[in-house]
């Protein structure tokens, strides 16, 4: 069975400044037999790269609407498009936090987040997805940064946990109440995934998600229980971000992911051709693809498209 292949594209700008340039990039991917392209349309700064009245559209977004052109032309080449949202980060371009700064998460990070557990933040993120799906007939959408981002101690989280008898302003990690806080944060994030899934299911399109490789640690650090999403049937694809220079680590992580998910959900391992945690030569990238497939991954997703040379694409075209 042929390996399914996808790639993340961190910006529509990476696909060129005109429809003709975009077409050339799609031709490269089609020649290498790619199945999926995942263009980021909401980055951590909070701007969005599609037409909408819900959020602040990136002031650099061009008149020719790259997302619409990408979707149309990719479909003609047999490539699916899953627009990618960095869901809960809300940086300097965020319409939500400009209007409601009190909705910000309370923890130290290099950029601002909305509180992922807060209903108003989830409502805003859901409205962005709904807006995109109203105007763009894409075959699927993608969840990323679908997590809390840290241990938020904002007023909302503090009040909600106090009702459960847990003071998150002073709790220690080994305290009995910590498990209740972990479970509550996981349930809040999972509730949002369920809401997005209800929309995609009604439209009969796909929902994919980029998730941490370190389950179950990510439950505690970021409220991300992606195994529960597979168990509940609320995602159509899981892409663990298996970014490492070590081929053995890539193998063992994939083995763990496959054991956790079983047959509940298609699993495509995310490999970091060039990421904050990895920089792979063509040879090592090929080796990692092979071991992931040997361990039961049905596909691979490469981060990210600009790092893929012609040699890389030629080396994996026959997978």
**Looking at residue 1, what is its pLDDT?**
65
What end-to-end distance do the CA atoms of the chain give, in Å?
9
Answer whether 274's CB lies under 8 Å from 244's CB: no
Domain ranges of the chain: 4-148+186-316
| Most distant CA pair in the chain, distance | 60
Sign of CA dihedral 99, 101, 102, 104: positive
Closest CA to 250 of 259, 262, 241: 241
**Looking at residue 73, what is its pLDDT?**
98
CATH topology of domain 4-148+186-316: TIM Barrel (3.20.20)
Answer whether 114's CB lies under 8 Å from 85's CB: no
Q: How many CB atoms lie within 10 A of CB 264?
A: 15
**Looking at residue 173, what is its pLDDT?**
85
Which stretches of the chain score pLDDT less than 70? 1
Closest CA to 262 of 229, 235, 230: 230
Local structure of residue 233 (DSSP, 8 states): T
Take residue 235 and report the two structure tokens written for it: 């995602």
The DSSP line for 120-133 is: HHHHHHHHHHHHHH
**Looking at residue 110, what is its pLDDT?**
85
Answer whether 89's CB lies under 8 Å from 149's CB: yes
Closest CA to 117 of 75, 83, 150, 166: 150
Burial letters 59-84, b for 16+ CB under 10 A, else e: eebeeebbbbbbbebbeeeebbbbbb
Q: What is the pTM of this model?
A: 0.97
Answer whether 272's CB lies under 8 Å from 243's CB: yes
Strands 237-240 and 206-211: parallel
């Amino acid at each position: 069975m042929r390996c399914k292949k996808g790639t993340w594209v961190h910006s529509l700008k990476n696909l060129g400044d005109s429809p003709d340039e975009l077409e050339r990039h799609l031709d490269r991917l089609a020649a290498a037999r790619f199945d999926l392209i995942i263009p980021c349309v909401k980055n951590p700064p909070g701007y969005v790269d599609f037409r909408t009245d819900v959020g602040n559209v990136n002031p650099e977004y061009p008149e020719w609407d790259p997302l619409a052109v990408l979707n149309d032309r990719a479909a003609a080449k047999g490539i699916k498009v899953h627009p990618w949202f960095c869901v809960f980060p809300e940086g300097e371009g965020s319409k939500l936090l400009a209007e409601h700064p009190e909705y910000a998460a309370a923890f130290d990070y290099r950029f601002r987040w909305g509180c992922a557990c807060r209903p108003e933040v989830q409502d805003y993120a859901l409205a962005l997805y709904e807006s995109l799906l109203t105007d763009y007939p894409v075959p699927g959408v993608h969840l990323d940064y679908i997590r809390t981002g840290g241990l938020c101690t904002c007023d909302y989280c503090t009040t909600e946990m106090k009702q459960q008898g847990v003071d998150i302003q002073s709790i220690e990690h080994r305290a009995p109440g910590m498990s209740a806080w972990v479970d509550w944060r996981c349930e809040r994030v999972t509730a949002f995934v369920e809401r997005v899934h209800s929309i995609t299911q009604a439209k009969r399109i796909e929902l994919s998600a980029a998730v941490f490789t370190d389950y179950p640690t990510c439950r505690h650090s970021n409220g991300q229980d992606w195994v529960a999403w597979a168990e509940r049937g609320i995602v159509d694809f899981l892409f663990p971000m298996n970014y490492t220079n070590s081929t053995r680590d890539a193998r063992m992580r994939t083995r763990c992911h496959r054991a956790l998910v079983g047959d509940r959900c298609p699993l495509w391992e995310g490999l970091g051709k060039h990421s904050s945690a990895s920089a792979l030569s063509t040879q090592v990238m090929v080796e990692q693809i092979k071991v992931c497939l040997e361990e039961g991954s049905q596909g691979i997703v490469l981060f990210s498209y600009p790092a893929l040379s012609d040699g890389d694409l030629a080396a994996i075209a026959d997978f």
